[in-house]
Amino acid sequence: MPLRITEAYSECGVNVRKIVARIVKYAPPDSLQGLNEISILDKDPNNIGFASYSRHEGRIELYVNDIIGWQPWLLKKSFIFPYIAIGMALGHEIDHHVSSQIDRTEREKSAENNALRYIYPSFGIFKPITKLISFIFSKQTRP
């Protein structure tokens, strides 16, 4: 069964479906195996995160208001800022899908370290900028 992308979110000035579809198109195929659906929703009903993964349903939920709702309209129009924010949330949850069989603490570490791995191939001309941003953040988060 092919991966479905479903939408149930309010207008936010960003074509989130297009971003998700591009990331899925370029993601390593084995990382999406067993994933049935990516749902794009307004807000987390439990108000605990930007996105979630359900192993039993093979489903990722992305919460648009939580991911990009804070961005001013100028950043949203730039494309790269919403793309990176949505991509990091999606990449984080794809890693949870890929590493769903390991210890929960290790899953979080893995998802934090590997989120870019799943979205990087889709960046196209933004790859150099993304590498620089990733390098800067990795240096700041290491003790």
Question: Mind listing the pLDDT tens digit for each residue in 30-85?
Answer: 889 999 999 999 988 888 889 999 999 999 999 999 999 888 888 888 888 898 88
Strands (E) across 65-122 are located at none
How far is it, in rounded angstroms, from Cα 53 to Cα 60?
Answer: 4
3-state SS, residue 16: helix
Topology of domain 4-141 in CATH is: Neutral Protease; domain 2 (1.10.390)
Q: Is the pTM of this model over 0.95?
A: no
For residue 81, count CB atoms less than 10 angstroms from its CB and return exposed for 0-12, middle for 13-18, buried for 19 or more.
Answer: middle
Domain extents in the chain = 4-141
